[in-house]
Structure 1
Amino acid sequence: MNICEIIPQPVLKLCIPPGRRVFVLGDIHGAYDLVDEALDLVEFNKSKDLLISVGDLIDRGENSDKVLDLLSQPFFLAVRGNHEHLFLLAHAQEFVDMNLLGRLVRDYGAWWWLLIDEEQQVKILNSLNPLPISIEISTPQMTLGIVHAELPKSITYWQTFLSLLEKRDQRTIQSALEGRSRLTSQNATPISGIDYIFSGHTIVPAITALGNSVFLDTGAVFSGRGAHHLSILNVASAFTDTYASPTIRTYRIRVYGNPATEI
């Protein structure tokens, strides 16, 4: 099946009113307990604040099944990661693609899927299916983009990227889900038409900015081993309390200067 055939809504656009805090979260990969800890540390208000994930909510960690708990919450949004997309691809036909599912279990850490009942599997698939490839957020200070991996290296204008996603261009979607070239080549070419783009997918030792592309996957699922941790970034305010621990690091966005600074 073509990867574009299981994407109901490629792009989601939001306008955030003044005073509402927005947090972006790095790849979770089943480390659900760290999310709860991070929200406590930043004093997240579930009735007022917004939490957005860069994707890859599932696999590898012990609590991937709790992804449904997050996706059903009104304060939580996520873009589609390659792990979610491959799961949907494996279940896109009348019959499950057992070869792909076997690869996900063997190579992607999807062992947890075999431990939950069919009813819960259906609920999780239904909750993953609407996930967009990209989210655009307009705040009073800036416009922000969220995409799991990266923009194709040939694209230097944000609206071009969104237009290609809307057309379900396969190469663009592939880069958005799985690309790594911007980080591996240390490509700092800025993307025009957007203030910052937040991504995950490739593990970095700390939040890393290349031009206006900011990468937040700091290996949450491996926390406790080396410097790996979960990163959470406040993007709706120029000022926020921050906290650092062996497993959680919080950052604030600076409207001017270095995009992400750990305090």
Structure 2
Amino acid sequence: MTLTLVPEVVHHAANAAGRDFVIGDLHGCVDALRYLLHKVGFDATCDRLFSVGDLVDRGDQCEQALKLLDKPWFYAVLGNHEDTLCAVAEGRLARHRWYGIGGGWAQALPDDALAVHAKRLRELPLVRTVGEGAARFNVLHAEFFGDDAELDAGQFDATVRERMLWGRELALNAGAPPRHALSLTYCGHTPMRELRQIGSQVFVDTGAFIPEGRLSMIEAMTSRHWSISVQDARALGAANMALP
């Protein structure tokens, strides 16, 4: 059997027809996403939504979140929670270890169904880059200490890959922003009270799954952003708002 290698970096042309948005860690909070897309008047014929990963775990709509991968306007990168799901499906991690970090939604999910999800998630890149030059932006899950050229090369060793999926050094102020020519880069992974830019990296996870948290979405390359909690979204009728 011939294995198809999935590229770790996928490049997208600039969106000349519509708008690009970036959503923070979804964690199964699809009703909040429904509300935000409705709020901004998302047009699926020309707008695009990029995800920093962590579609699953902790929230109560994880299977709905995975179905977003079939939407032609939705572009996700691999998050550490997707990587963990794959590790379980591939027999490299015990299920109970995953349940301890939010995978409990899958306790009744049979192995063959989990394998189907893992196969789809293994198609996700670590990085998406969009546009060129001054209009370029990048999307990845946690953090990156390098420049655009290093991102584009996609030759990530185990240490760099670990940082891209699990790193919190920048977000927790444990290190200075790297002094490299890195385009504006949208990241998630570490919940923030508000969207925060550190160096070239913009952290857009505001803890959608936390009772006092919110799901946040930003229009790429602008300061326009929107946030809402799952509870408030549902109170405003989000469950009845159709996804594009």
Deviations 1:161-215 (A, max 9, x none): 342xx33411111110001111222634454142x00000001100000111100
Distance 1:243 1:208, change over 3 A: closer
Q: Separation in 2 of the partners of 1:74 and 1:148?
A: 21
- Report whether the alignment pairs 1:233 with 2:218: yes
Kept after mapping to 2: 8 A contact 1:148/1:177: yes
Match of 1:69 among 63, 67, 73: 67
Q: Is the contact between residue 58 and residue 103 of structure 2 (CA under 8 Å) also seen in structure 1?
A: yes
Q: Does 1:150 align with 2:143?
A: yes
The answer as to whether partners of 1:204 and 1:219 remain within 8 angstroms in 2 is yes
Report the counterpart of residue 216 of structure 1 in structure 2: 204
Task: Provide the rounded CA distance (Å) in 1 between the counterparts of 2:132 and 2:152.
Answer: 18
Do the aligned residues in 2 keep the contact of 1:68 with 1:127 (CA within 8 Å)? no
Q: Secondary structure in 2 aligned to 1:146?
A: strand
What is the distance in 1 between the residues matched to 2:227 and 2:216?
9
How far has the Cα of 1:64 moved from its partner?
0.7
Equivalences for residues 16-95 of structure 1 within 5 A: 16-92=14-90
Contact 1:23 1:52 in 2 (8 A): yes
| SS at structure 1 position matched to 2:54 | coil
- The residue that corresponds to 2:236 in the other structure is none
Name the amino acid aligned to 2:141: H
Describe the SS at the equivalent of 2:192: coil
Amino acid at match of 1:13: H
TM-score by length of 1: 0.78
What is residue 104 of structure 1 aligned with on the other side?
98
| Counterpart for residue 176 of structure 2 | 187
CA RMSD of aligned residues (A): 2.6
Who is 1:172 aligned against?
160
Q: Which residue of 2 aligns with 1:133?
A: 126
Opposite residue 89 of structure 1, the aligned amino acid is A
In 1, distance between residues paired with 2:220 and 2:31?
Answer: 22
The amino acid that maps onto 2:94 is: L
- Which of 149, 162, 166 is the matching residue for 1:159? 149
Query: What amino acid sits opposite 2:17 in the alignment?
Result: G
| Residue 198 of structure 1: aligned partner | 186
Q: Distance in 1 between matches of 2:226 and 2:8?
A: 34
The verdict on how the C-alpha distance between 1:239 and 1:112 changes in structure 2, with shifts beyond 3 A counting, is: closer
TM-score (norm 2): 0.84
- The separation in 1 between residues aligned to 2:226 and 2:160, in whole angstroms, is 36
CA–CA distance in structure 2, aligned partners of residues 9 and 20 of structure 1: 26
Per-residue CA shift, 1:51-86, capped at 9, x if unaligned?
010000000010111123200100001000001011
The answer on whether the counterparts of 1:186 and 1:210 sit within 8 Å (CA) in structure 2 is no
Structure-2 change in CA distance of 1:54 and 1:202 (3 Å): same
1:187 is matched by which residue type in structure 2? A
Q: Secondary structure at the match of 1:52?
A: strand
If asked which structure has higher relative contact order (CA below 8 Å, sep 6+), I would say 2
Look up the match of 2:195. Answer: 207
Do 1:7 and 1:129's aligned partners in 2 also have CA atoms closer than 8 Å?
Answer: no
Q: Which amino acid aligns with 1:210?
A: I
In structure 1, what is the Cα distance between the partners aligned to 2:171 and 2:223? Answer: 28
Residue number among 90, 95, 116 corresponding to 1:123 in the alignment: 116
- The answer (yes or no) to whether the contact 2:9–2:151 under 8 Å persists in 1 is no
1:151 is paired with a residue whose SS is coil
3-state DSSP class of the match of 1:221? Answer: coil
Unaligned runs of 5+ in 1: 250-263
Cα distance change, pair 215–129 in 1 and its aligned pair in 2 (3 A): same
